[in-house]
Structure formats: structure tokens, C-alpha cells
Amino acid sequence: MAKKTMRTLRGQLQGIGNLKRELLLDDGLINQGYRITSFIVWSGIRDDNFCTATLSSKPKIAGSDQDASINTEIAWATFGTVTGPLTAGAVYHDRVIDEDHVINRDLFISMISTSGNPDQTWNYLITMEATKLSDDAAILAIIREEAQNVGA
């Protein structure tokens, strides 16, 4: 059995409101793909805060909600903390990943942060499995990245 090649992307976005970053650039190698296996976001500051994050093959419209019916959205994550007297230290996080989606061009992360702290930092860690694609599979991945439905 061949060893799987794993890649990680990690970083931090700072601020409140709508935050975006382009993570992968199209390198022209359409036969090299990546499958998201893990997507985690968490706060860099202990404070009342909440964020939703989306990985997508196209930049999202500022302030748009997570929408699994959009083919360009690949993975979704949420994170929140509450520091009130009854729930001090409570942490909520969840994630959903479309593991059938293969990225072979661009990948974007978009976050919506409701923190009141303009210095709020958000960490992310994305794990991907590298995969070689046939010409046909590469074309299907590109069509899917362009938000066209290719069927089941």
C-alpha cells in the first residue's frame, strides 16, 4: 500500500467582520489534486467570540452565510466561546467536510467574526491529502470548482 502524501496549511487571520485569504494558487498542474481531510478554526484570544469559516474554490461574497448547496464551498467550520458567569470557558466548535471534492486550482478561506475585539485573532489548520488525477478526473474537478453540477 502506497504511503499517502499529506499537506497542511496553517495560519492566522486578524480582525472582526469579514476576513478572507487566498491559500493556494493555480500552478497549472491540473493532474495534482488535494482532498481536504481536516479543517479546524479556533480563537487566538480568550474572550467572548464566535466565527464561521468556509473553504471554497472561489472567493465568497463578503458577509455571505455558509451554504452547502453551492458547489464551490468545500468545508465549513464554526468556533465560539462564552465567558459568562454560568458558562465560563464553554467552547463550541464543529466542522463539516465534503471529502469527495478535489481541489486542483485555487482554495480560499473566508471567515465571519462576531468578536467585539478588533485585535481578535483566528487560527486555522487545514490538512489535505495529495492525489494524482487522470485527465478526465482533473477536468471534472475543474468543472466542479466552477460551480457547475456534474451529477452524482
**pLDDT tier, 63 (very low <50, low <70, confident <90, very high otherwise):** low
Please, what is the end-to-end C-alpha distance for the chain in angstroms?
A: 28
Report the predicted TM-score, pTM, of the whole model to 2 decimal places: 0.82
What is residue 37's three-state secondary structure?
strand
Task: For the domain made up of 6-145, give the CATH fold.
Answer: Jelly Rolls (2.60.120)
Q: How confident is the model at residue 1 (pLDDT cuts 50, 70, 90)?
A: very low
Of the chain, the percentage scoring pLDDT greater than 70 comes to: 82
Q: At 39, is the pLDDT very low, low, confident or very high (cuts 50, 70, 90)?
A: very high
Q: Give the chain's mean pLDDT.
A: 82
- Please check whether residue 69 is in contact with residue 131, taking contact to mean a CB–CB distance below 8 angstroms: no
Per-residue pLDDT averaged across 110-124, rounded?
85
Is residue 114 within 8 Å of residue 17, measured between CB atoms? no
Strands (E), the chain: 6-14, 17-24, 32-43, 49-56, 73-82, 90-97, 102-103, 107-113, 121-132
pLDDT at residue 75 is higher than 60: yes
Q: What is the pLDDT of residue 128?
A: 93
Q: Distance between CA atoms of 51 and 39, rounded to whole angstroms?
A: 14
Q: Are 43 and 89 in contact (CB under 8 A)?
A: no
